[in-house]
């Protein structure tokens, strides 16, 4: 796995399997490193579509491809890394101040995102120039 930008990491979840199949349980404060206040899913993404193109000021999130696959590009203002999500037993943390883009969605991709807080448009940084300026200020 590539050396991910600061604060981003892949978490491997335990799978409880038996002769019936597999089960993954995600609890806030345990497998998920924050309390969960919101869950949303991205699915039915059209071919060639890319999403995201923002960072969050304060929000912590965890993304899991519960079906299919997609790529997530992570950018901390200095480095960009691409991560492929393709396993329901693996999550990618999306901490604050990481510019992220999602692309290469398979037609069957269901990307589930667990979020630490409710939806708040004011927490989004949707201009890459603003993001770079804020990231630079935070590192100064
Ligand atoms: C993120 C990446 C991984 C809501 O009303 N409530 C919600 O909880 C969310 C997530 C979105 N929305 C509305 C806002 C927009 O009108 O749904 C519409 C699509 O959202 P957006 O264009 O922000 O979707 P993405 O895929 O670019 O980004 C989403 C999340 O918004 C974002 O927080 O980190 O997935």
pLDDT tens, the chain, 140 aa long: 568 998 999 999 999 999 999 999 999 999 999 999 999 999 999 999 999 999 999 999 999 999 999 999 999 999 999 999 999 999 999 999 999 999 999 999 999 999 999 999 999 999 999 999 999 999 88
Indicate the CATH number of 10-139 among 2.40.50.140, 3.50.50.60, 3.40.1440.10, 2.60.120.10.
Answer: 2.60.120.10
Q: Which mutation among 43, 54, 126 tests ligand 1's pocket best, with the greatest number of atoms within 8 A of CB?
A: 54
User: Is-contact 129 39, C-beta < 8 A?
Assistant: no
Residue 57 annotated to the active site: no
Rounded to whole angstroms, the Cα distance separating 52 from 32 reads 21
Enter the pTM of the model.
0.97
Atom of ligand 1 nearest to the CA of 53: 27
Which residues surround ligand 1 with Cβ inside 6 Å? 38, 40, 42, 51-52, 61, 63, 94, 113, 119
């Amino acid at each position: 796995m590539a050396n991910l930008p600061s604060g981003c990491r892949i978490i491997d979840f335990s799978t409880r399997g038996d002769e019936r199949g597999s089960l993954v349980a995600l609890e806030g404060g345990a497998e998920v490193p924050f309390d969960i206040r919101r869950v949303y899913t991205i699915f039915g993404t059209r071919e060639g579509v890319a999403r995201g193109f923002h960072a969050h000021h304060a929000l912590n999130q965890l993304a899991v491809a519960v079906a299919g696959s997609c790529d997530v590009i992570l950018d901390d203002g200095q480095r960009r890394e691409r991560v492929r999500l393709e396993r329901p037993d693996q999550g990618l943390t999306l901490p604050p101040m990481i510019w992220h883009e999602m692309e290469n969605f398979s037609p069957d991709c269901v990307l589930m995102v667990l979020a630490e807080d409710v939806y708040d448009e004011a927490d989004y940084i949707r201009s890459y120039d603003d993001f770079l300026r804020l990231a630079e200020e935070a590192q100064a």
